[in-house]
Structures are given as structure tokens and as C-alpha cells.
Amino acid sequence: MEQTTSARPTAHDHAALRNTLLKLTASQKILCIVVVAVVVIIWYDLLNRLIDFGGRMNYAGLNALGAQVIDFLQRYNAFFWWGIVALCSLLILYLLVGFVNSTRRHVQRKIVKADTFAELVSQLSEPAKEVLRWAWADTRHPVTVGDLQRAAHELRQGRFDKIELSRQHVQLLNGGPIASGQDAPSTIS
């Protein structure tokens, strides 16, 4: 693909990064969706069985506790079983969130192959490459999926404008004028 030469990152840069990240993280996303769907289906079946079991619970054998206690247990039986379901649901949700976060962190540490990186770099404009250089903090280590994700996020957040403004600040601090054609970005957050 032909390289774009513009003063700002383009929509093509965003699309190239997004497509590369989608290819690199697709298996993790599919795995997470499948695991979450299977767990939800299994838990829904178990939930219905648990509620049904609780609804059929008979406390008549607890006569020694008295009629008031048995009446209390019968009246609040459904609430007790729904409480157990809610607690188990929270535990399952906690475990699923942990699983998804664990797989996400694992994928973020995955090293990007040289041919995939070369294909991506050939599609990026110079401003987008500058943001990618900025996101790749430690050049002693290969580029990871996490570096690409950070670059994509920073590209969306206007990091290139901040890099340019930083260069202008350095140039002014060193006593030199701002090079022509480098207008200061109007709003930097």
C-alpha cells in the first residue's frame, strides 16, 4: 500500500490499526464470548433447578421449632433461595470478569510478528508512525499487541497534536523560532 503524507493522522491510519488489532485479538475475543455464553447457559439451567428445588422445600419436619418458625420459613423461602442465586451469580460474574481480564492481559503481552508489523507500518502515515513510536515506550523489547492498542487509543485522543506541541515547546525553550508550517494546535487536552 502507498504511504500517505499528510500533516495529521488520517482515517486510513485508524482503520489500519483497528484492522490489525482485530486480527491479533480475534481469537481471544471469540474465546471469551464462547466461555461467557456457555457459563451463562449452564448457570441459567442450574438457577432454574435451584429455584425449583427451593420451591419444593418442605419444612414440616421441623415441628420441634414451633408453628411460627415453620410459617416464617415457608413465607420467606423464595427470598432465601433467590438470595443464594444472587450470591452465586455475583461469584460467577466475578470469576468471568477475572477470566476476561486475564485473557486480555495475556493478549496484550503477545509479541507482534515482524511481517504483521511491516504490513501495518506500510499502511500508516508519518504522523501515525510518530504516535506508534511514542506508544512503543521501550524499544529494547519487540512491539506487543498492548503497544498497538495504546497507539490506537492515543491516535484517537489526538496524541500527534500533543507531540507536535511538545516539539514546539522544546524548540522555543532552546531559543529557536517555530519552523514555518507548524501551527500550534488550537486545543490540546
Q: What is the pLDDT of residues 61-117, one digit of tens each?
A: 777 777 787 777 778 887 888 999 999 999 999 999 999 999 999 999 999 999 999
Please report, for the chain, the start and end positions of each structural domain, with discontinuous segments joined by +.
11-173
Residue 18 above 50 pLDDT? yes
Number of other CB atoms surrounding residue 151 within 10 Å = 26
SS3 label, residue 130: helix
| Side-chain half-sphere exposure of 131, counting CA atoms within 13 A | 26
pTM: 0.73
Number of other CB atoms surrounding residue 147 within 10 Å = 20
> What's the DSSP call for residue 53?
H
Query: What residues have CB less than 8 Å from 178, skipping those under 6 apart?
Result: 168, 171, 172, 184
Closest residue by Cα to residue 128 from 23, 5, 19: 5
